[in-house]
Amino acid sequence: MHMELSQEELATLADRHWTYIGQVERGKRNVTLTTILALAEALEVEPADLLSEELPDGVEEATRDRVRPGGRRTPPKPR
């Protein structure tokens, strides 16, 4: 399944903080197996897909022109 989620949306779905998601994306954080499982569930993919060097079918690499600039300065509101 192809989804376009913000870091804040993914963080909410995976029960993580939005700044943590950004740090993972930038390679500044190592993730635990528990986090990999939470992210996979949030993204509706198999955990192995997150560990693969190849992108799953139907998923395009996020290029700079597809990533919105700036960032959220305050934590997202709880749902």
Express each pLDDT in 40-55 by its tens digit: 999 998 999 888 888 7
Q: CB under 8 Å to 34, separation ≥6 — which residues?
A: none
Q: Is the pLDDT of residue 39 over 70?
A: yes
Q: Is the pLDDT of residue 73 over 90?
A: no
φ and ψ at residue 5, rounded to 5 degrees: -120, 145
- What is the arithmetic mean of pLDDT over 55-65? 68
Residue 39 neighbours by CB distance under 10 Å: 20
Return the residue matching tokens 């290029």. Answer: 63
At residue 54, the pLDDT reads 80
φ and ψ at residue 44, rounded to 5 degrees: 60, 50
Residue 8 neighbours by CB distance under 10 Å: 18
CATH topology of domain 1-52: 434 Repressor (Amino-terminal Domain) (1.10.260)
